[in-house]
Structure formats: C-alpha cells, structure tokens
Amino acid sequence: MTSLYIHIPFCKRKCLYCDFLSFPDTEHINEYFDALIKEINAFDCKRVKSIFIGGGTPSYVDSGYIVRIMDALSRYNIDSNAEITIEANPGTLDLEKLKTYRSCGINRISIGLQAWQNDLLKTLSRIHTREEFLENFENVLKAGFENINIDLMFSLPHQSYDMWLDTLENVTALEPAHISAYSLIVEENTPFYDMSLDLPDDETDRKMYHNAIAFLSSRGYKQYEISNFAKEGFHSVHNCVYWQRGEYKGFGLGAASLIDNCRMKNTENLCDYINGATVVESERLTKADRMAEYMFLGLRMTKGVSISGFKKEFDEDMLIKYRNVFEKYSDFIEINEDSIRLNEKGIDISNMIFCEFL
Ligand code: SF4
C-alpha cells in the first residue's frame, strides 16, 4: 500500500513566518500542472491508501486543476476507503470549489486558520480574517465534508495565554474532527527572523502546549502525535504513514518520497520542474538510518514505538541497541511491556532526544 503526496506551491501571498516551498505566482500555474500530470502518468504504483494534496495553498488555484490531478490519479488502484485530503486556506474558498472537491473524490479538508484573533492573523500576514474563516467553514459543512482538520499555531507574537485559550474554545465549539496545534518556530530564512518580535517566553509556550492537551482532551480530542489531536477514528491516515515509515511517493516541486527504503527528493527549481526534471536527490537508507528513523519518527506518536516491531524489522533488540539513550533519558521516557514512549517531560525535549538516535 502506498500513499501519495501532491505539492501545489502557489499561495496568494507569502506569510511572514513561512519557510515552506511556496510562493505567489500566477504565470506558471498552467505549465506547472502540465508537468505534474506528466510526473503522475510516468509513475506506477500498487494500491493507494491515502492521498494528500498539500502546499502552498492548493485551494488558491482554480478547482479545474484539482479535478485534472484527481483524474490523472484515477489510473492508480485507489482503495475505496482511501483518505483523500486537500489543504485549503480561508480567503481562497467558495462553495462551488468545495463541491467540486467533493465530487472528484476528496473526502478530507485541512484548513489553515492559525489564530482566532484578527490582530494576530494580521501580524502573521495571513490573507484572511476570522469572519472569512467562519464563512468558509460553513461552506465546508454545506459541501458535505465530515473529516475536517483545523491548523492552529501558538506562541505567536503578541499572543497571550488567554488569547490561545480563546482560540481553542472557539475552534472546538465548531467540532472539527481533527486539530493540529504547532508552536511557532522562527526560521532563519523568513522575514520574522529579522524582525523584533514580542514572543511569549518559554514558560508560557509550555503552559500553552500542556494546557492545550488537557483542554482538547476534555473536548474529546485525543492527542496521538506531538502536535495532532483527533476525535475517535479521525487521526490522519496520511501523516501516520510518515511517522511509521510507510511507503509514499511525492509529486511536484520539492516533493519527497520513500520507496523501497530509498529517500528521494524532487527539484525545488520551478523552471527545471516545468521542463521535466524531477528527482534530484536519492539516498538508499542503510540499516542504521532505518533504525534511527524508526525511533525518532515513531516516538513522535503518543503510542510510542513497538519493541517487537523493531525486532521483527531489524532483528535487533531495541533495548540493547539504544540502552545508553534510554539510560540517559530515563526520566523522560516510559518503557512498557512492548513499547517505549516519551512522557510529558520527554515531549518538551523531544528534539534533543531524537538527535541521540542519529
Ligand atoms: S499560506 Fe501556508 S504555505 Fe502559503 S505562505 Fe502562508 S504559511 Fe506558507
């Protein structure tokens, strides 16, 4: 079973904090989709269990382009209950677009709201207001979407703890099936990096995170990954593939793939991609690489990593292989009969622990 990712790099405007491969562009959209369809047509795969159309802002382009992508993908053997997601941003959606998505088989939508307060949205240079989000959300329901994710961010400039709680209160009142909540990371190659930002301190950041877990749990959202929360049965099938090292193929600019233990990456150069160049990096993973990935990707999930699964895949005893790490971080991990997971303190220093496996 394979999962497919399709990257649409276009956005209406670049947000000040964003370091994704995305940009405003109206000139190359048609050529880009031609190249994308060519790449899809040149690939053969087994059964498909999930598809994720991400970006960028896939909802920014005319829905006819999305229909073309779905038509091209229909040559594959797509499972009848496959999860098919599209990412969307408020300010680029209308009811007609949403109905088109539904009619071509898309059954999950991930909406980038980020914050409830219009002042914060402006600080982030988002293109939308809360009111536009609410109007879009209503249309998402009208179009028949039941599997809806809302992306949120905390630790934002000028964001108080109460503003974050207010965001959570209002968003959970809408009862989406899934919520993602990420702490803002100010990346070096973004405008935010050179700005003097009034950010919440570390203590407030952690308070926002831990109280979000408790609050979301009280509203029926179970945390299943460091930043992801879902109502029963609505975890993201596609993202779990990444964390569990399942096979996936990425199409489009800069898209990554993992096939037969080989990691590949497409070019990030738009002209090269349009002219037919695709994979520019390819690395066959060694057993050591695969074991490390098993650990640092799997530990992102709250259920942790399976000790017997590790033995089955690598014929090695995880407890012996990583004994030094487990001893060093014994206060931060929980060892159960057949699993190892990060505890609450471990999640706070997860990046430090993950580095130990490299
Ligand atoms: S909409 Fe998303 S992908 Fe586009 S610039 Fe903003 S954060 Fe980046």
| pLDDT over 90 at 301, yes or no | yes
The pLDDT assigned to 252 comes to 98
| 293-304 exposure pattern, b = at least 16 Cβ within 10 A, e = fewer | bbbbbbbbbbeb
Quote the crossing angle between the two packed helices 29-41 and 63-73, to the nearest 10°: 10
Side-chain half-sphere CA neighbours of 196 within 13 A: 0
3-state secondary structure of 232: coil
Pocket test for ligand 1, best of 7, 8, 11, 180 (most atoms within 8 A of CB): 11
Nearest to 140 by CA among 180, 169, 107, 104: 107
Tokens of 103: 């009619």
Tell me, using a 6 A CB cutoff, whether residue 14 lines ligand 1: yes
Q: Supply the pLDDT for residue 283.
A: 96
Nearest CA to ligand 1 atom 6: 15
Q: What is the mean pLDDT of residues 291-314?
A: 98
Decide if pLDDT at 1 tops 90. Answer: no
Q: CB of 24 within 8 A of CB of 70?
A: no
Output the CA 304–ligand 1 centroid distance in Å.
Answer: 30
Torsion-angle region of 307 (φ positive above 0: left; ψ -120 to 50: alpha; else: beta): alpha
Q: What is the mean pLDDT of residues 228-239?
A: 98
For residues 328-334, average pLDDT: 98
pLDDT of residue 279: 87
Q: Mean pLDDT across the stretch 53-81?
A: 97
Instruction: Report the atom number in ligand 1 closest to the C-alpha of 56.
Output: 3
From CA 248, how far away is CA 318, in angstroms rounded? 25
Query: What average pLDDT does the segment 168-172 reach?
Result: 98
The per-residue pLDDT for range 34-63, each reduced to its tens digit, is 999 999 999 988 799 999 999 999 999 999
Determine the pLDDT at residue 45. 84
Section 309-321 average pLDDT: 97
Give pLDDT, residue 303.
Answer: 97
Cα–Cα dist 315/230, whole Å: 33
Domains and CATH numbers, the chain: 2-242 (3.20.20.70), 302-358 (no CATH)
Q: What is the pLDDT of residue 289?
A: 97
Evaluate: CB of 153 within 6 angstroms of ligand 1.
no
Q: Does any ligand 1 atom lie closer than 6 A to the CB of residue 113?
A: no
- The residue among 304, 252, 248 whose CA lies nearest residue 278 is 252
Mean local confidence (pLDDT), 202-219: 97
Q: How far is residue 247's CA from residue 293's CA, in Å, rounded to a whole number?
A: 13
Q: To test ligand 1's pocket by mutation, which of 10, 18, 156, 253 has the most ligand atoms within 8 angstroms of CB?
A: 18
Percent of the chain topping pLDDT 70: 100
Residue nearest to atom 5 of ligand 1 (CA): 14
Locate 344 and state its tokens: 């609450």
Is 18's C-beta closer than 6 angstroms to any atom of ligand 1? yes
Q: Whose CA is nearest to atom 3 of ligand 1?
A: 56
Q: Provide the terminal-to-terminal Cα distance of the chain, rounded to the nearest Å.
A: 28
* Mean of pLDDT values over 320-346: 97
pLDDT higher than threshold 90 for residue 126: yes
Cα Rg, the chain, nearest whole Å: 21
pLDDT at site 46: 78
- With the most atoms of ligand 1 within 8 angstroms of its CB, the residue from 10, 13, 21, 57 to mutate is 57
What DSSP line would sit under 97-162, residue for residue? HHHHHHHTT--EEEEEEE-SSHHHHHHTT-S--HHHHHHHHHHHHHTT--EEEEEEEES-TT--HH
7 and 255 Cβ atoms separated by less than 8 Å: yes
CB-ligand 1 contact for 57 (6 Å cutoff): yes
Is residue 201 predicted with pLDDT exceeding 90?
Answer: yes
Q: Using a 6 Å cutoff on CB, does residue 15 contact ligand 1?
A: yes
What average pLDDT does the chain have? 97
pLDDT in tens, 236-282: 999 999 999 999 999 999 999 999 999 999 999 999 999 998 989 99
Res 300 pLDDT > 90: yes
**What are the C-alpha distances in Å from 238 to residues 31, 48, 70, 243, 297?**
27, 11, 17, 9, 14
Q: Rounded to an integer, what distance in angstroms lies between the CA atom of residue 318 and that of residue 341?
A: 13
pLDDT of 317? 97
Name the closest-CA residue to atom 7, ligand 1.
18
Does the pLDDT of residue 32 top 90, yes or no?
yes
In the chain, how many H helices and how many E strands?
15, 15
What letter does residue 10 receive in the DSSP assignment? B
* Beta bridge mates, 91: none
